[in-house]
Amino acid sequence: MNFKFEIFLFRLSFIFIIFDSFPIPIEFVYRPLSIFPLAILALNRLKILFKNNKVYVSKKIIYIFLSILLISIYQSAINYKNFSGLIKFILEIIVIIIIYNGFMRGFELSLNKRGIKSNLRSSFKLVIYALIFIGTTQLLFRFLNLTDLSNIINSLFTYRYNSSRIQFFSGEPSMGIRTVVFFMSMYAFILEKKVPYLILFLVLCLIFLSGSTFGILFIILFGFFHSLLKSSLKTLFRNFLIFLFFSTIIYFVVPLFLVYLSPYAQNKINLVYMLIASLDFETLLLIAEKDGSIFLRVFNPIIGFFVFLNNPFGVGGENFKFEYITTINEYFPFALNHSTVQKVLFESSEITPKSLISKMLSEFGLFGIWIILFTFNRFRKIIKNNSDLFLLFIFIFTLTINYGSYVYIPLIFTISLFYFINKKTDDLHNYNKLQ
């Protein structure tokens, strides 16, 4: 395959990350357009590796893969006698392998970290401008009440849309905000400088005007982990005060945007402020009883933890749904009235813990804890020598709290990037030792 064409596909797959709910005729919530150029790159990489007998997978990866597969097969066959979760999990592994090999092909063609930055720089700038442009356009269309035009434009790149909210190129505002934060985190890596204040201001305004409570929560969590992980013992208290200061500003600024938000967003934000005002668990239960969305976002991670306590060795990949209703019956019976919970109960629809950490704990138990600790410890060592990756590390850290799926292209891109840079560092170290 032509080198220039492969680089073109690599850049295209990077640009297409923003289209995570593309109107592809498949029955999945997450519909990334990037999968198509990545699949071509992945197939070409695998063909070259097999042809040259250079296929290599580390023993640790093999052990991890076999362990999670054995847990999943055992639980599906013995405990649940249902293989739907196992089949979905295996399909997810295949998709992850495709995405990983696609990005790795692009990284290898770029040769090193500097080459990656060079190849993606123009694409990255295009994406940043496109995100700001579409967010601003959606805002203007809402103010001008151009609902039909807004829906027509949004339908070109997402299968679900709501002209009353800013959702960027995604199917919902919170997904769009995660994508925006991912590319903001890439700024220091690709352009090797801080995000300009004007761009940061515009992005934050669009995020607040989206009215997404969980999108705003993602921003707050990102700031918290940034303050925590950037701190030494001497600066911890100071950074914590800075975080509190900016959190307080957000607390007082968000209500100023309420008048510009849809009734749905206003209701969600008012419920959150009611909870903050009371800081009472009973109030949280009352809100969760009335609002199914808040129940799923807040209590599903807790349910995942309960599933882990009852199954310390895990229930297997994508088998969380088989324990979901039982756990709700035991701890949160009021939630059986929510439509999403009823779909799980009566239609056996899919459900996740809404948090990767909770998902890993519930599905792989103690082994899941080891995977999480091993991965973050490895990443922590990598960023010591690669400070331009720090914000991406914070992004992944925040994502594990606020996102509940294994298949997410920004996550796999970042993990692949960390692995590639670490491998290049190890290869250079081994070469120097030989010299």
Q: What does the pLDDT look like over 100-154, one tens digit per residue?
A: 999 999 999 998 999 999 999 999 999 999 999 999 999 999 889 898 999 999 9
Check pLDDT > 90 for residue 18: yes
Give the number of domains in the chain: 1
Q: What does the pLDDT look like over 341-354, one tens digit per residue?
A: 999 988 888 899 99
- Residue 84's pLDDT is what? 92
> Which whole number is the average pLDDT over 51-75?
87
- Residue 154's pLDDT is what? 92
Q: Which two tokens stand for residue 44?
A: 């070409």
The burial class, CB within 10 Å (0-12 / 13-18 / 19+), for 238 is exposed
Cα 158–Cα 159–Cα 160 angle in degrees, nearest 5: 95
Nearest partner of 97 among 53, 55, 59, judged by Cα = 55
Q: What does the pLDDT look like over 218-242, one tens digit per residue?
A: 999 999 999 988 888 888 888 899 9
Residue numbers of the domain that contains 325: 3-434
Return d(Cα 409, Cα 113) in angstroms, integer.
19
Asked whether the beta carbons of 171 and 221 are under 8 A apart, the reply is no
- Residue 428's pLDDT is what? 52
- Residue 326's pLDDT is what? 93
Q: How many beta carbons lie within 10 A of that of residue 206, not counting itself?
A: 22
- Residue 429's pLDDT is what? 54
Asked whether the beta carbons of 304 and 322 are under 8 A apart, the reply is no
> Which whole number is the average pLDDT over 268-297?
88
Check pLDDT > 90 for residue 52: no
- Residue 259's pLDDT is what? 83
> Which whole number is the average pLDDT over 159-188?
92
> Which whole number is the average pLDDT over 18-30?
89
Average pLDDT of every residue of the chain = 91
Return d(Cα 159, Cα 142) in angstroms, integer.
19
Return d(Cα 251, Cα 253) in angstroms, integer.
6
Asked whether the beta carbons of 210 and 166 are under 8 A apart, the reply is yes
Q: How many beta carbons lie within 10 A of that of residue 38, not counting itself?
A: 29
Check pLDDT > 60 for residue 435: no
Check pLDDT > 80 for residue 425: no
- Residue 427's pLDDT is what? 62
pLDDT band at 74 (very low <50, low <70, confident <90, very high): very high
- Residue 60's pLDDT is what? 82
